[in-house]
Amino acid sequence: AGIILYADLILRGGNLSAKDRERLAVIQEQGQRAADLTQKILDFATESMLRRQNLDVNDFLRDMQMQLAHTLPENIHLHLTCPADEVITFADPDRLRQAIINLTLNAREAMPQGGNLHIALQRLHVADGADAPLPEMSAGEWAVITIADNGVGIAPEALPHIFEPFFTTRAPLGSGLGLAQVYGIVKQHGGFVDVSSELGKGTTFWLYLPRVAE
């Protein structure tokens, strides 16, 4: 953060040649990348500092809709399906936003020809003794965020590895940390992630977050 700040101060100081300004801009950009990378690593490696609060994911996703639409090209259509009433979780909105952005960016990469991105929110009640969507999930109240694209899909041999840090099929552009970060963030919230994918058809991710009594 210091690097970015000082580069910014020098930039504002004026008295710089165009060349120097360009160089400073590169320093700032690289500094930002380093900061982003550090946050990604912290998110899956450690208990990063969460600022959790009672968060209505319904409101939250509706608020994010614009931002998400802006990160997508015109030929990718975003569909958001939310229930009518509140879905309350105990979550850090910044971290949850990051997870959803990472999934959206992956979907964008998977649909170079355009397509549809469906984001849906549902409540899920798992009764005592009933089957949960994942065997590790306990009975109780859950919020389910589904993020589905109709892009290129993930090869069956790659699927078991996608949440591993540094696993990427997009090197050198991809760092392979996006999904590791998603996994870390969801785990820190006591949640679960699931995925299903078919080559040429698309990919669906499910985020399960514990719900707080409304």
Q: What is the binding site for ligand ATP (CB under 6 A)?
A: 102, 106-107, 110, 149, 151-154, 158, 162, 167-170, 174-180, 203
CB of 190 to ligand ATP, least distance (A): 22
Rule CB under 5 A: is residue 168 a binding residue for Mg ion? no
Among Mg ion, ligand ATP, none, what does residue 162 contact (CB within 5–8 Å per kind)?
ligand ATP
CB of 37 to ligand ATP, least distance (A): 9
Residue 26: which residues within 8 A CB-CB, separation 6 or more? Answer: none
Among Mg ion, ligand ATP, none, what does residue 58 contact (CB within 5–8 Å per kind)?
none
In angstroms, what CA-CA distances link 85 with 90, 100, 146, 155? Answer: 17, 21, 17, 37
Nearest-angstrom CA–CA distance, 25 and 19: 10
- Dump strand ranges (E) for 30-131: 53-56, 76-81, 88-91, 115-126
Nearest-angstrom CA–CA distance, 65 and 79: 9
Rule CB under 5 A: is residue 58 a binding residue for Mg ion? no
Rule CB under 5 A: is residue 104 a binding residue for Mg ion? no
Give me the sign of the Cα torsion angle 46, 47, 50, 54. Answer: positive
Q: Closer to ligand ATP at the Cβ: 58 or 203?
A: 203
Return the residue nearest ligand ATP (CB atom): 178
In the numeric block, which tokens belong to residue 143? 């919020």
Select from 58, 98, 106, 203 the one that contacts Mg ion (CB under 5 A). Answer: 106
Among ligand ATP, Mg ion, none, what does residue 168 contact (CB within 5–8 Å per kind)?
ligand ATP
Q: Which of residues 174-203 bind Mg ion (CB under 5 A)?
A: 178
Nearest-angstrom CA–CA distance, 104 and 109: 9
Contact by Cβ (8 Å): 86, 62: no
What does DSSP assign to residue 136? T
CB of 157 to ligand ATP, least distance (A): 11
Q: Closer to ligand ATP at the Cβ: 16 or 158?
A: 158
Among Mg ion, ligand ATP, none, what does residue 38 contact (CB within 5–8 Å per kind)?
none
CB of 35 to ligand ATP, least distance (A): 14
Q: Which of residues 107-126 bind Mg ion (CB under 5 A)?
A: none
DSSP tally for the chain: helices H, then strands E: 5, 7
